[in-house]
A and B are shown apart, each in its own frame.
Chain A
Amino acid sequence: EPEVTQTPSHQVTQMGQEVILRCVPISNHLYFYWYRQILGQKVEFLVSFYNNEISEKSEIFDDQFSVERPDGSNFTLKIRSTKLEDSAMYFCASSDSPGGGDTGELFFGEGSRLTVL
């Protein structure tokens, strides 16, 4: 069964450092998403991406964050200067229709745990 893969599974970084989280979406999917989940809290939407541009972003997704699809397979989330409160699990998702569309199905990866010290 096709799956979304994320790397690294866990990253520890110092406050102020740049971090890039990587995702390989399902190959025929066109819509890509990043979500995060702070320990013990809800899964929060960060950003959606389609046709090489951001289609929607939340209040959380400020200037410290950026996304990119550098080639035909990877989808990355960059945090420019990490803060303690960026410590969370970051989930990538993909779908073949917007927001999951009528099929309703977003496929999520297993997540990248970011720990900022």
Chain B
Amino acid sequence: DAKTTQPPSMDCAEGRAANLPCNHSTISGNEYVYWYRQIHSQGPQYIIHGLKNNETNEMASLIITEDRKSSTLILPHATLRDTAVYYCIVHTGRRALTFGSGTRLQVQP
């Protein structure tokens, strides 16, 4: 699976959009971009995934650049409960999901 690069930490004001970037410049054509998060020490939670089109669900939006070398996870109206570590993972599904260090998002009141 391709390597990803994320900032180690970010802050966001409550109610504002949180935009979490991820670089995956070595992504190959059959690899998806997945986002998970881990709130405190709970089990990781799936957020969203995409291949090349932008995706939106009830939790977030995923914007993938046209060359697929980077993506942004958008939490449109961050709440304190969105404080977590967010993992961007590039993955084909043929092997087990592996987690990097992620971005620690702190939502400030």
Interface residues of A (CB under 8 A from B): 4, 33, 35, 37, 42-45, 48, 56, 58, 89, 91, 93, 97-102, 104-111
Contact partners of B5 in chain A: CB under 8 A = none
Asked whether, in the complex, the Cβ of A108 is within 8 Å of the Cβ of B44, the reply is yes
The 3 closest A-B pairs by CB, nearest first: A108-B43, A104-B49, A43-B99
Known contacts A104-B91, A108-B44; 11 further A-B pairs (Cβ under 8 A): A33-B97, A43-B44, A45-B98, A56-B96, A100-B34, A100-B97, A104-B48, A106-B46, A110-B43, A111-B41, A111-B42
In the complex, how many residue pairs between chain A and chain B have their CB atoms under 8 Å apart? 67
Asked whether, in the complex, the Cβ of A102 is within 8 Å of the Cβ of B96, the reply is no
A89 to B87, CA, bound (A): 18
Asked whether, in the complex, the Cβ of A110 is within 8 Å of the Cβ of B42, the reply is yes
Of the residues A37, A93, A104, A111, contact of B34 by C-beta under 8 Å: A104
Known: A43-B38, A104-B32. A93 touches B93 (CB 8 A): no
Of the residues B43, B48, B93, contact of A97 by C-beta under 8 Å: B93
A48 to B74, CA, bound (A): 31
Contact partners of A107 in chain B: CB under 8 A = 46
Contact partners of B34 in chain A: CB under 8 A = 100, 104
